[in-house]
A and B are shown apart, each in its own frame.
Chain A
Amino acid sequence: LAKTTQPISMDSYEGQEVNITCSHNNIATNDYITWYQQFPSQGPRFIIQGYKTKVTNEVASLFIPADRKSSTLSLPRVSLSDTAVYYCLVGGGYGGATNKLIFGTGTLLAVQP
C-alpha cells in the first residue's frame, strides 16, 4: 500500500488560496488519489479524486504531475469553515473500490480571520 507524506499543519488567512501537497512515491499503476476533509468528531468527507493531470470540482482542484508521485490539493479563497484536517489517500479506484485505504497523518489547516 502506498504511503503518503503531508505537512503536519498549515496556516492561512481568509480569502487566500491554499495548496496542500502530498507525496506518494510508491503509488501503484491502478491507484487513484483521493482527498478527504475531517472536522473534529465527524467522519471524513470526500473532497476530490483524480488519477492524473488536473481535476476540478465545485470546492477544490487537484493537480497531479505526470509521474503521479505527488499531488496538490488547491482550495480557492478559504474561509474560517475550511479549518479542518485534510487527508491524502492513494488506492481504491473507480468501479467499486474495495481496496482498503490507509490514512496518513493528514494536514491540519488553520484559517485565521
Chain B
Amino acid sequence: GAVVSQHPSRVICKSGTSVKIECRSLDFQATTMFWYRQFPKQSLMLMATSNEGSKATYEQGVEKDKFLINHASLTLSTLTVTSAHPEDSSFYICSAPTTGELFFGEGSRLTVL
C-alpha cells in the first residue's frame, strides 16, 4: 500500500529555535497533504491543508506565521515550527490522500525545552 514517511520521528529543541518536519509520499504523488497535531490523551487536531504549488489553508486558530507549511513538490511537504515554545510540544502527524484512503505518516514528537 501507499506509504507516507515523516522525519524526524523525535526532536528536542531549545525554546526560541525553529524546527522543520518533513513529510514524504514514497510511492505516490500527493497534491494535498494534511497536517495534524495531537496532545497527550487527545484526538488529532487538523492544523492545515497543504497544497502543492500554492499556499496552505490553515484551520481557525492556527497561526500561519508560526507554523510555516511548504509543499514544493508532489512528494514533499514540510512543516516548520518557528520560534518554538514549550507549549508547542506535541505529536505532529502528516497525511496524504490517495484513491479514497488517507495514509498517515509515523508522526514526529516535538519537545521544546
Residues of A within 8 A of B (CB): 32, 34, 36, 41-46, 49, 87, 92-98, 100-106
Residues of B within 8 A of A (CB): 4, 6, 31-32, 34, 36, 43-46, 49, 91, 93, 95, 97-107, 109
Residues A46 and B102 in contact, CB atoms below 8 Å apart: yes
* Separation of A49 and B107 alpha carbons in the complex (Å): 22
Residues B43 and A96 in contact, CB atoms below 8 Å apart: no
Residues A106 and B43 in contact, CB atoms below 8 Å apart: yes
Nearest CB of chain B from residue A76's CB, rounded to whole Å: 22
* Separation of A42 and B36 alpha carbons in the complex (Å): 12
Interface of chain B, main secondary structure: strand
Number of A-B contacts (CB under 8 A): 64
Chain A residues near B99 (CB, 8 Å)? 94-96
Residues B44 and A103 in contact, CB atoms below 8 Å apart: yes
* Separation of A34 and B43 alpha carbons in the complex (Å): 16
Residues A97 and B102 in contact, CB atoms below 8 Å apart: yes
Residues A46 and B103 in contact, CB atoms below 8 Å apart: yes
Select one of A42, A101, A105 contacting B102, CB under 8 A. Answer: A101
Residues A41 and B109 in contact, CB atoms below 8 Å apart: yes
Chain A residues near B34 (CB, 8 Å)? 100-101
Chain A residues near B107 (CB, 8 Å)? 41-43
Residues B44 and A32 in contact, CB atoms below 8 Å apart: no
Chain A residues near B6 (CB, 8 Å)? 43
Nearest CB of chain A from residue B85's CB, rounded to whole Å: 22
Nearest CB of chain A from residue B13's CB, rounded to whole Å: 18
| A-B CB proximity, top 9 nearest | A43-B104, A94-B100, A103-B44, A97-B97, A103-B43, A98-B32, A43-B107, A43-B93, A44-B104
Residues A32 and B100 in contact, CB atoms below 8 Å apart: yes
Residues A96 and B104 in contact, CB atoms below 8 Å apart: no
